[in-house]
Amino acid sequence: MIIHTVLPGETYFAIAARYGISLSLLLQTNGISDPDSPIIGQALVILKPALTHIVTRGETLQSVALRYQTTLRTLLRNNPVLTASDPPQKEFTIFPGQQLVISYETTPLGDVRSGGYVYPFISPSDLDQSLPYLNDLYLFTYGFKADGTLIPITPDDTPSVNAAEKLGTSPILVLSTLGEDGLFDSGRASALFSDPAAEDRLISSLLALMPQKGYRGVDVDFEFIPPDQKEEFAAFVTLLKQRLAPQGYSVTVALAPKTYADQPGLLYEAHDYAALGNAADRLLLMTYEWGYAFGPPGPVAPIKNVERVIDYALTEIPREKLLLGIPNYGYDWTLPYQRGNPRAITLSPKQALSLASRYGAEILFDQDAASPYFYYTDGQGRAHVVHFEDARSFREKLELLFRKGLSGFTVWTSMYPTPSLLRTANALFRLS
């Protein structure tokens, strides 16, 4: 895999020709819809096919997979055009004369576990484009009342769970302390921890719901827990694991990004890495939000900050249990930044590129943070800066997790497919 940074005067056609690939493959790989508008500084993933197949009459995707001793999921990852229909096809159809990529000229670093968070209102077409790359799909979020009564996810999660199962991805139920107002409610968790009957009610409800829905595990995302309840939090996760494990369900815990054990702050203090590491099957490091909507402009996940969190986590938790959280978004700040100004606008990587294209901005790259950014001036004469993620920043994080020996990564969020992330992960690793 090569990542090419667009230079002034280059065209997509010339870039494709330089690397000996077709223009259509370059555009498909990077999810580009407008072939005439390259952006200076844009990072492009370059993948060269090693083996291709021309479809003949009567062949199906399954028969092609069998012929080359590969899997349906691999073919879908290698040929993103197959999952790009809107609405999604009931079956992934191919036609005579169509060229399919069986494999690319890549040497995978190894095997990793991959996952992504989504809300149940994700569009079916966006979901289908991401699922072939994901081992786990985290449905955000179920909640609970103080007495342990489970609050259902809304809207109905059944379509997303069914779509995940269809493509061999494990649905994971996310259980959080998010309240009806959309904010994390620490009092709800405190009440739960102090009432054994409430804990039993909640866990029993989960055990009844999960086989009915088709979930394979639970992800516990409890944030802003009072510091004096860190032991109760770990005890709850331990109890959850004891009740779920005999039924074959996994337990994951989302961890605030700490760099040392007694790091102060309501977000961090009740997240005891060692205790929660002992209690759960997997631990997700939420390594993002250094640059955030209400704060000063900056990279969402600067690589040195991410590495410091990983290094601390490895002193407390076995590396085979750790998942790296990867942000799939950025922010647009109005300048000059002043505390109390309107919050920054959240953007997907694709939206950030569209914004750069609209205003003719050049994308720059912060080598120290391993993160792209650009400036522009809007129609009202206001200056802006945008920090986001692209193929280069994704590669830095993915290679870091491999060097550190982590078991995999989970994306916040997979609400919008991001070709640069998906294709980079597929090129660097073997995704089962």
Q: What is the pLDDT of residues 4-61, one digit of tens each?
A: 999 999 999 999 999 999 999 999 999 999 999 899 999 999 999 999 999 999 999 9
What integer best gives the mean pLDDT of the chain?
96
Look at residue 340 and tell me whether its pLDDT is greater than 90. Answer: no
- How confident is residue 417, by pLDDT bands cut at 50, 70 and 90? confident
CATH architecture of the domain covering 2-104:
Roll (3.10)
Q: Is the pLDDT of residue 65 over 90?
A: yes
The pLDDT tens digits of the residues spanning 134-173 come to: 999 999 999 999 999 999 999 999 999 999 999 999 999 9
pLDDT for residue 212: 97
Query: Which amino acid, one-letter code, is at 148?
Result: G
Would residue 232 show up in a list of annotated catalytic residues for this protein?
Answer: no
Instruction: Sketch the domain layout of the chain as residue ranges.
Output: 2-104, 110-328+389-431
Active-site residue identified among 223, 232, 269, 389: 223
Per-residue model confidence as pLDDT tens digits over 348-364: 999 999 999 999 999 99
Q: Supply 315's token pair.
A: 């002193």
Check: pTM over 0.95? Answer yes or no: yes
pLDDT exceeds 90 at position 87:
no
Does residue 86 register a pLDDT over 80? Answer: no
On whether the CB atoms of residues 376 and 353 are closer than 8 A, the answer is no
- Quick one: what percent of the chain has pLDDT higher than 90? 93
Whether 90 shows a pLDDT value over 80: the answer reads: no
Q: How confident is the model at residue 89 (pLDDT cuts 50, 70, 90)?
A: confident
CATH class of this structure's domain 110-328+389-431: alpha beta
Residue 218: pLDDT above 80?
yes
Per CATH, 2-104 and 110-328+389-431 having the same topology is answered: no
pLDDT of 75 above 80: yes
